[in-house]
Amino acid sequence: MTILEHPVLAGAMKYVSATSGGEYAGPCPWCSGTDRFRLWPAEGATGRWMCRGCGRQGDGIQFLRDMEGLSYPDACKRLGTTPKAAGTTHTLKPAPWEPKPAVLPGEAWIARAGQFIDRCAAALAAGGPGMEYARGRGLTARTCAALRIGWNPSDLYEDRAAWGLPEEINPRTGKPRRVWLPSGLVIPTLREGQVVAIKIRRSKWTPEDQLPKYAAASGGGKLPMVLAPGEGKPCVVVESELDAILAAQEARDAVSCVALGTAKGKPDAAANALFMAAPVVLVALDFDEAGATAWPWWRSTYPKAKRWPVPAGKDVGDLAAQPGMIRAWIEAGLPDPERNVEPEPVPESSHVVGPILRRAADLAHGAPCTTSEAELAKLRETFPHLYVCPATTPPWNFRYVSDCATRCATPCELQATN
């Protein structure tokens, strides 16, 4: 038996993603939250689960002990696993991390994906809701055309065989699974001109939706999206592909942009080579708990890594509404030689940084602070709830005391009081 087959969970859980061999969501058996309970039945020997509402979590053995009051040996027996000997301790030592080559799909999948992307790209280029949505997310028509971004107007469910995938049966329904291609903005990952992965930002998604905001086409490659690569270029690391596209649109002449897909994502061998050769790696994972938790790995793996959350909001997309802000934020994190290079023209892009935003970048790099002590005191009194340096305009939201010292080389009382 697996914990997915337990009578309390059977029929109540919905498959939501392929994370860790398959992720399921449903109501929590303890707190009754509607969709905060997550289950990964294929992870580890007995599966793993957690509730984002009440905080309960554990493996399959712990689930049976908590739910049915079973002893440890009895829970192991139910799950078909061997109990550990009494009195023994097991210390897991993580193996040294090594980058792996990208895992690419087969030729049939690539061919079918190319046809789908071509149709969606044509639909977006024709205008209408697709182009309107793309522009609303900060994308230009030129960027969409160059990266073959498209629009899928309606949900599609295609046979797996058409994509070169083996048949799979849904254990809950007994019917063959299909390749789900929901309506929305279609974002392909390209390698050497071929489509090797597809993400779709669902147009029908709502915060109450139990299905994910981004849907990945089944069978796609397991690899990060890499844009504007160049040996020795500074790198920006983000989570979503859309964030990487926005960063590359505004600053592809200055940085390479890499999207990992999730905060827990790791680079493949090609991306790792870029990071090792980069003068700085700006780690701009989402400003949330997952992004903060992931930072220590980057700090210990890449000596040139610098935590660089966006100055406002959660991710790069939150900066798109203010022209020039994305580039100013990136430039503020670069070594001076890179910041002072005149950027290449970027058609249809708001790459020209205005004087105010340029001043913010200069101040973040230690230019003399021209704000008087009286003005600083007034700003500190006005914004006591913000971790900000008011000497920059607009204020950089540093959020952490350590970031203040990292981003601003000019000593001031704010570094002690922030």
Residue 157: predicted pLDDT: 96
Residue 32: predicted pLDDT: 62
Q: Report the DSSP beta bridge partners of residue 37.
A: 26, 51
Residue ranges matching CATH 3.90.980.10 in the chain: 107-223
Residue 255: predicted pLDDT: 95
Mean pLDDT for the stretch of residues 239-255: 94
Residue ranges matching CATH 3.90.580.10 in the chain: 3-79
Beta strands in 138-206 (DSSP E): 150-152, 156-159, 178-181, 184-191, 194-202
Running DSSP on this structure, what letter comes out for residue 6?
Answer: S
CATH classification of 224-352, choosing from 3.20.20.70, 2.160.20.10, 3.40.1360.10, 1.20.1630.10?
3.40.1360.10
With cut-offs at 50, 70 and 90, classify the pLDDT of residue 399: very low
With cut-offs at 50, 70 and 90, classify the pLDDT of residue 109: very high
With cut-offs at 50, 70 and 90, classify the pLDDT of residue 115: very high
Please tell me the least confidently modeled range out of 143-147, 165-169, 305-309, 340-344: 340-344
Mean pLDDT for the stretch of residues 27-47: 81
CATH class held by domain 3-79: alpha beta
Considering the chain, what is the average pLDDT of its residues? Answer: 80
Please tell me the least confidently modeled range out of 118-132, 195-209, 357-371: 357-371
d(CA 78, CA 60): 10
Mean pLDDT for the stretch of residues 73-84: 86
Residue 13: predicted pLDDT: 87
Higher pLDDT, 59 or 388: 59
- Which two structure tokens, joined as six digits, stand for 305? 């890594």
With cut-offs at 50, 70 and 90, classify the pLDDT of residue 371: low
Fold for the domain defined by 107-223: DNA primase DNAg catalytic core, N-terminal domain (3.90.980)
**Residues of the chain by 3-state class (helix, strand, coil), percent to 5:** 35, 20, 50
Q: In Å, what is the CA distance from 122 to each residue of 12, 114, 140, 145, 148? A: 40, 12, 15, 9, 9
Residue 380: predicted pLDDT: 52
Mean pLDDT for the stretch of residues 39-54: 84
pLDDT of 365 above 90: no
Compute, in degrees rounded to 10, the torsion defined by CA atoms 396, 397, 400, 405. Answer: 10
Higher pLDDT, 20 or 356: 20
Residue 337: predicted pLDDT: 52
pLDDT of 85 above 80: no
Residues 6+ apart with CB under 8 A from 9: 3, 26, 29, 39
Residue ranges matching CATH 3.40.1360.10 in the chain: 224-352
With cut-offs at 50, 70 and 90, classify the pLDDT of residue 346: very low
DSSP per residue, 340-405: TSPPPP-TT------HHHHHHHHHHTTPPP-S-HHHHHHHHHH-TT--EETTSSSPEE--SHHHHH
The winner for highest mean pLDDT among 15-19, 271-275, 292-296 is: 271-275
Higher pLDDT, 129 or 379: 129
Mean pLDDT for the stretch of residues 185-208: 93
pLDDT of 138 above 60: yes
Higher pLDDT, 96 or 352: 96
Higher pLDDT, 33 or 197: 197
Q: In Å, what is the CA distance from 247 to each residue of 78, 195, 378? A: 51, 21, 35
> 143-181 pLDDT, tens per residue?
999 999 999 999 999 999 999 999 988 888 889 999 999
pLDDT of 387 above 80: no
Q: In Å, what is the CA distance from 138 to each residue of 204, 243, 249, 324, 402? A: 19, 10, 9, 12, 31
Distance of CA 379 to the CA centre of its chain: 34
- Which two structure tokens, joined as six digits, stand for 201? 């930002």
Report the amino acid identity of residue 116.
Answer: F
Helices and strands: H and E segment counts in the chain: 14, 18
Omega before 394 cis (within 30°)? yes
Residue 273: predicted pLDDT: 95
Residue 66: predicted pLDDT: 85
Please tell me the least confidently modeled range out of 57-61, 145-149, 216-220: 57-61
pLDDT of 196 above 80: yes
pLDDT of 219 above 70: yes
Residue 81: predicted pLDDT: 86
In contact, 308 and 283? CB cutoff 8 Å: yes
pLDDT of 242 above 50: yes
Give the rounded percent of residues in the chain with a pLDDT score beyond 70. 77
